[in-house]
Structure 1
């Protein structure tokens, strides 16, 4: 190897190390920036209550700020893509992930569920992802979107239906039949 080739190899290796360092620094910066959005993840309760649906095999894709499918949240390992088993219970939605901590979304924190063609880390098209919108921190009005890719196509609608039923069940908390958002039992808005 000539001196010129040796210098080229050293420069190339230095560039690779620099790029890897920059990627790691960027990930750590994003983690620090998103810690306030998450706080401590809700613990998985000892008694989840009755199972409403699942478990479904899925891929936990990522969690983003609600309404911004590219603003990935990495605090509390929410940026780690993993295989998962998703189940809906009376107390909330459990995303049991392989290789990292589980995500439990309490029924009271769940704000919405639907389908999307993509979220940070995965674009599948045709609304192939199930997205759960929730608020882990009560002071954050915006909340988070958690994207899941069910392994079997038929599991997506079943997961959406079960999470929607859970939201409807927990929103009817007032004795007069109105929810905190002013909806009545039939889903219409109460007149003011």
Structure 2
């Protein structure tokens, strides 16, 4: 009986290890595939300017292809979830991530902002994630998600981000 229990335990542990290795291999393959076709991310400028809104502390959820909220971008460490602080300036959005590289999104690349239920396979309740849609280039439209500690400021952030998008039309955005 003990031998059978030990054998079953080893089989389960082995299957778990194989599953984890397969997931890691898949993540690395995704990163290589995306790196081959994606341009590089924007370098942070030396000065990002004054904050338009008070900084928002929370969690950087991730960045995904805007056409598929499950298709997480895995290039570099951009796909890693992390505690972060978001700062919005006239020049763009700066996301300072703990334990990961900062993310800089220039204002001229903004395409829209909204509150969403989730992003990158992470469901966080109704309007739990602040999502910024932006263009890395003409072929890559991305969504970056941020879950703020204080979600009551989302409407203020959405409005500020929306006014910074090219071709901002307040009537169209209020109809959403």
TM score, norm. by length of structure 2: 0.86
Residue-by-residue CA offset, 1:69-109 (whole Å, 9 max, x unaligned): 11111112121111111011111100111110111001121
Q: CA deviation at 1:38?
A: 4.1
Q: Does the 8 Å CA contact 1:111/1:135 hold for their aligned counterparts?
A: yes
1:165 aligns with 2:131: no
Q: CA deviation at 1:54?
A: 2.6
Structure 1 portions without partners, runs of 5+: 172-182
2:83 and 2:37 map into 1 onto residues whose CA distance is: 24
SS of 1:53 mapped into structure 2: coil
CA displacement 1:124-151 (0-9 Å, x = unmatched): 2322211111112x241x4110011111
Structure 2 residue aligned with 1:21: 21
Between 1:108-117 and 1:79-88, the stretch displaced more is: 108-117
CA–CA separation in structure 2 for the residues paired with 1:81 and 1:160: 21
What residue number does 1:117 align with? 117
Using a 3 Å threshold, how does the CA distance of structure 1 residues 2 and 153 change in structure 2: closer, same or farther? closer
| Distance of 1:9 and 1:61 partners within structure 2 | 35
1:145 aligned onto 2:150: no
Deviations 1:24-70 (A, max 9, x none): 11111121222246432211111112321131112111111013111
> Do 2:51 and 2:89's aligned partners in 1 also have CA atoms closer than 8 Å?
yes
Report the Cα distance in structure 2 between the residues aligned to 1:153 and 1:60, rounded to whole angstroms.
14
Larger radius of gyration: 1
- Mapped to 2, the partners of 1:103 and 1:184 lie a distance apart of 24
Q: Give aligned pairs, total.
A: 172
Distance in structure 2 (CA, Å) of the matches to 1:60 and 1:54: 17
